[in-house]
Structure 1
Amino acid sequence: MSQLSDLVDPTAILLDAPATDWREAIRLSGDLLVSASATTPAYTDAMIRTVEEHGPYIVITPGFALAHSRPDESVHRTAMSFVRLAEPIPFGHEANDPVTLVMALAAADASAHQAALAALAGVLADPEGRRALDEAATPDEVLAALGAGSSAAVGDAAAATSPTASASAGSPVAAAPSAAAATPSDPDAVPSKNLILTVCGNGLGTSLFLKNTAEQVLDRWGWSPYLDIQATDTISAKGRAKDADVILTSGAIADTLGDVGVPVEVIENFTSQAEIDAVLRRVYAV
């Protein structure tokens, strides 16, 4: 199994569960973590409170929500749960509602779950992987689908062609940003600060998910040596914005951030390399 499926105990999987609203859907996922001895009920309350405070930013791709909160004494170990709802539930997200799949993430620290989120991104970006989660009849089939995340899914990455390849086709392309780059020929352009921030309410869940997808785009471009992508929370992002070229985040978090002095780009589908590719091309005039 992949590290992702290792984090999901078979007893923390609930299929075709009824829920009346998004709070109950999150509570179902939190109760599974409690039953698996990964968290206390206080963590479930914190996951719900996070959405109440920051909006439905946890709905990171159509029909899928990643419920989470900050690590604290209510988290005993890093773990995830999986809930497939009997009927779709609106969470309030304009682009990605309604939700049918809810996974809850409890992170004991800021790094132990990063590989698992990268694997999850691969599963959700792959139509076959997503279909397997939607149609799984048993917990074992869910775990098998999550295990497929150990292989990087191509998804829509083909749209994220490298700027170099575009140039060979005759498209004008900006050079990869570099601190040592010459003064840009565009009088309105400014030198890159070589930093992109991905932001969520806690800096540990959806921001890492978005960071992973953006890094895949830069890898395809060959720009990874030139740009650092860091995941952070809303409070830290406001203080660090001046050091970044751009902030990538959800619509709900963008509203929370307000004007921070640098471009704030809203990403609707956190698994879409094509969407992030288009945003970064616009930001860097590629």
Structure 2
Amino acid sequence: MPSLSEIVDPSAIRLDVAADDWRAAIRAAGGLLVSTGVSGDSYTEEMIGVVERYGPYIVIAPGFAFAHSRRDDSVRRTGMSVVRLASPVTFGHDTNDPVTLVVALAAADDDSHRKAMASLAGLIAQPDRRAAMDEAATPQEMHRAFTERAAEPDRQRESTTPQTGPAQQSPSGDGTAATAAAAANDTSRRQEPEEDTVASKGFILTVCGNGLGTSLFLKNTLEGVLDHWGWGRFVRVEATDTISARGRAQEADVLFTSGAIAEALGDVGVPVEVIQDFTSSGEIDDALRRVYAVDTSEVPE
């Protein structure tokens, strides 16, 4: 799989670009994909269409929009473009507006960009790296901010990290099996299940409009928190699209997604957790504690 440095072409980076609205911002980023031979104009319009259909879920972190769509016939290879706006633009997101940085992805297939996406998610989560993106004076500086090796993001609440896995479904499906953790007898950090919690099937879905972009950001951050808890070996995470999510929801403990996608999904029969900042370990930590009834009594304010 190509790395982030291979996917982000320095010639597909523009700084201080004027855009009157979010459509113009996406067209600016899409135009760079066109000029570098990654995709055609039709793909740019597809990226705009995604927001028109599903709302501003592509604004996955404060000030940051990740434009993408399913590939069309004009996508020749996998590539990304980066546009920093001269003035902030409103996309309509409740908490992450206004946007100053737009990254556009065109993926030639479902898999080749996954490594790069994981790297990008780690970078955006780092305040110092995000500051470097905001302050870059040249496209070359911006390229370095995007492609230098990401440090391991800090994990929160280390003193209250759960030491046992989630309560697992028994083979009969009655949800009465003991926890699957190695230290299964240590239940001091678990509460009695609340009404909206579930016996774990060991599976979580992250959902976006196409299953190729923002859901991968969310998957990466979620897996980081699970690994930090020691739950990574017990809970599998898969990124998917809205259509597949409706059909597969009953396989999962919970769906993680944006507010706009949650509204589009409607009632899928399992809990749906809305995440505002897809790069925030703390927000996802909170959501996991709600879903699995992890005791928060020792968590500092």
Would the TM-score normalized by the shorter structure come out above 0.5? yes
Please state if 1:212 is matched with 2:220: yes
Structure 1 vs Structure 2: percent identity of aligned residues? Answer: 59
Deviation at 1:177, TM superposition (A): 3.6
Letter in 2 for 1:158: Q
Equivalent residue runs for 1:236-255 within 5 Å = 236-255=244-263
1:128 is aligned to: 128
Unpaired runs of 5+ residues, structure 1, are: 165-173
Match of 2:279 in 1: 271
Where does residue 232 of structure 1 map in the other structure?
240
The C-alpha deviation readout for 1:125-172, integer Å capped at 9, x for no partner, is 111100000000111101111123x334424x22365202xxxxxxxx
Deviation at 1:178, TM superposition (A): 3.1
Q: Residues 235-255 of structure 1: CA distance to partner in whole angstroms, max 9, x if unpaired?
A: 110111111110000000011
CA distance in 2, matches of 1:29, 1:99: 13
Match of 1:158 in 2: 156
Counterpart of 1:258 in structure 2 is 266
* 8 Å CA contact 2:198, 2:291 repeated in 1: no
CA contact (8 A) 1:159 1:273 kept: no
Q: Which runs of 5+ in 2 are unaligned?
A: 179-191, 295-301
User: In 1, distance between residues paired with 2:123 and 2:82?
Assistant: 14
1:281 to 270, 280, 289: 289
* In structure 2, distance between residues paired with 1:187 and 1:247: 18
CA contact 2:54–2:260 (8 Å) conserved in 1: yes
Greater share of helix: 1
Q: Does 1:223 align with 2:231?
A: yes
User: 1:171: which partner in 2?
Assistant: none
Q: Do residues 89 (structure 1) and 89 (structure 2) align?
A: yes
CA 1:186–1:22 in structure 2 vs 1: closer, same or farther (change >3 Å)?
A: closer
1:72 counterpart residue number? 72
Cα offset, 1:9, TM superposition: 1.2
Contact 1:11-1:36 at 8 Å conserved across structures? yes
**SS of residue in 2 equivalent to 1:158:** coil
- Give the aligned residue type for 2:209: G
Q: 1:186: how far off?
A: 4.5
The residue matched to 1:83 in structure 2 has which SS?
A: strand
What is the distance in 2 between the residues matched to 1:233 and 1:5? 26
| Among candidates 179, 204, 213, match of residue 196 of structure 1 | 204
Give the CA deviation at 1:197.
Answer: 0.5
Q: Which amino acid aligns with 1:176?
A: P
Q: Residue by residue, what CA displacement relative to the aligned partner does 1:71-115 show, whole Å, maximum 9, x if unpaired?
A: 232210000000000000000001000000000000111111111
For normalisation by structure 2, the TM-score amounts to 0.87
- Aligned counterpart, 2:58: 58
Q: Distance in 2 between matches of 1:20 and 1:175?
A: 49
| Amino acid in the other structure paired with 2:153 | V
Cα distance in 2 for residues equivalent to 1:86 and 1:5: 24
**What SS does structure 1 have at the residue aligned with 2:156?**
helix
Which whole-Å CA distance do the structure 1 matches of 2:280 and 2:140 have between them? Answer: 27
Given residue 226 of structure 1, which amino acid in structure 2 is its aligned partner?
F
Distance 2:152 2:282 in 1: 14
8 Å CA contact 2:165, 2:234 repeated in 1: no
Q: Structure 1 counterpart of 2:161, which letter?
A: S
- Cα distance 1:278–1:190, how it changes in 2: closer, same or farther (>3 A)? closer
Instruction: Please provide the CA RMSD for this pair.
Output: 1.7
